[in-house]
Structure 1
Amino acid sequence: MRKKTPVSNLPDEEKQLFRDSVTGARPLQQDKIPFARQPGKVRMAATLTNSSPDSHLFYFSDQYEGFFSDSQTLAFVQTGDDPTLARQLKRGEFRPAVVLDLHGLTQQQAKTELAALLAYCEQQHFNCACVVHGKGLGILAKRVPNWLVQHPNVRAFHTAPTEWGRDGALLVLLRTPT
C-alpha cells in the first residue's frame, strides 16, 4: 500500500497541474436518497391446513401413551398388516410423496398440521409421507408417534433413513382409499 504524500511536500508545478485539471468541476449534489435494499426471498410456510382441520383431530388424544422401547429407532405396524412393512420403510423402499416439517411448532400446532397432512395424503392418494419432528427436547419426538398410532389410516411407520432425517423424522405408510 502506498503512503499518502502530504500536499505541502508536493512541488509547486504538481499543485498547479492539479488545479488546472479540476478547474470547472462542480461538486456533486447530494440527493439524500437512502440506499434501497432489494427485498430478499420471502419464505412462506406451506400450510397444509385445510378449511376444517378440527374434523380430523378427534383421532389424536394427548392422554394416550403407546408402548415404544427407549431405543432411538421407532417402529410400528398396524395389527393385521404385513409385519415386514416397518423393515421396508427402514430400508427406504417407500419414497415419501410429501414432507411435513414440525420444527418450531407448539404441540397443538403440530397436532393440527399432522392431522391436515394425513387428510391431504388421503385426498391426494399418497401412500407415504415423511414427518420431520426434530430432536430438540424430544417433546414432539414422543408425541408424534403416539398420535400416529391412533389414526386408522396409518399402516406403519419407522424412523426415517439418513436421507430423510434419521432420528429426527419418521416415514409413515398410509392406507389409500380405493
Structure 2
Amino acid sequence: MNEEFDDNGEAEFAKLLRGVKPLQQDTLHFRPPKKSRQQIVEHKARKQAEVTFSDIYQPLLPSDGPMRWHREDTEAVEVKRLRRGDYVPEYLLDLHGMRQAEAKREIAAVIQACVREHAPCCCVMHGHGTGILKQQLPLWLAQHPDVKAFHQANKEWGGDAALLVLVDVGAHPHKR
C-alpha cells in the first residue's frame, strides 16, 4: 500500500512540475572585495592623520596678539616673513562646516600635498563659527613633524579666520 502511494504521489508531482524550469542559483562571495592601490594609499593617509594629531597635546602658544608658532629649529624671522606676506600660499584649505575628525584628515592631506609638490606655504581657513576649529587647529599644526611655523593670516588670505602654514619640504629650494 505504501509503494502504491509513493508511485502515485511521484507521478502526480512530476505531472505538476512538467513545464517548470529550475531557477538559476546566485553565487555569493563572502570575502571582502579587493581594494585598489589608491584606496590603500588613502586609508594609510587617514590612519596617519588620526595618529599624528592628539587632542591632549598642549604646545606653548601665545595668549596675546595674533596666533603664531615656530619649531625650535626654525628661526623666528620665518614667522615674521609669514606675517609680512613674503610667502604666498600655493594651497588653500577651507575647513568651514567640517567636524574635527574630517578637519584632521584634510589638514594632514594638505600638508602631504605641500611636501609632495614642494610648496612651502599653505593657507588653512578655519572660520569664526563656534571657535572649536580655531582653538584646535594650532594645537594640531604644532604636532605635525612637517610644519615649521604658522602665523595668523593677513586680510588678503582670511585675517583672523585663517592661518598661514610654513611646511618643511626638505632640502629643496623654496618657491617664493
TM-score of the pair, normalised by structure 1 = 0.69
Q: Which runs of 5+ in 1 are unaligned?
A: 1-49
TM-superposed CA distance for 1:120, in Å, is 1.1
Higher helix share: 2
Q: Is the counterpart of residue 128 in structure 1 residue 116 in structure 2?
A: no
Q: Is the counterpart of residue 165 in structure 1 residue 149 in structure 2?
A: no
CA distance in 1, matches of 2:103, 2:57: 16
Pairwise mapping of residues 123-162 of structure 1 onto structure 2 (< 5 A)? 123-162=116-155
Report % sequence identity. Answer: 39
What residue number does 2:103 align with?
A: 110
CA distance in 2, matches of 1:105, 1:54: 15
Which region of structure 1 is more displaced relative to structure 2, 139-148 or 53-62?
53-62
CA distance in 1, matches of 2:59, 2:99: 21
TM-superposed CA distance for 1:64, in Å, is 1.0
State the AA in 2 paired with 1:128: C
Which region of structure 1 is more displaced relative to structure 2, 168-177 or 65-74?
65-74
What residue number does 2:167 align with?
A: 174
Say if 1:122 and 1:176, in contact at 8 Å, map to a contact too: yes
Say if 1:56 and 1:119, in contact at 8 Å, map to a contact too: no
TM-superposed CA distance for 1:81, in Å, is 1.1
TM-score of the pair, normalised by structure 2 = 0.70
TM-superposed CA distance for 1:72, in Å, is 5.1
Q: Is the counterpart of residue 95 in structure 1 residue 94 in structure 2?
A: no
Find 2:62's aligned residue among 58, 69, 87. 69
State the AA in 2 paired with 1:105: M
CA distance in 1, matches of 2:48, 2:127: 23
Say if 2:62 and 2:68, in contact at 8 Å, map to a contact too: no
**Residues 113, 145 of structure 1: alpha-carbon distance in 2 compared, 3 angstrom cutoff:** same
RMSD between aligned alpha carbons? 1.3
Say if 1:56 and 1:116, in contact at 8 Å, map to a contact too: no
Count of residue pairs the alignment pairs up: 129
Q: Which runs of 5+ in 2 are unaligned?
A: 1-40, 172-176
What residue number does 2:46 align with?
A: 54
CA distance in 1, matches of 2:85, 2:48: 28
TM-superposed CA distance for 1:100, in Å, is 0.2
State the AA in 1 paired with 2:55: D
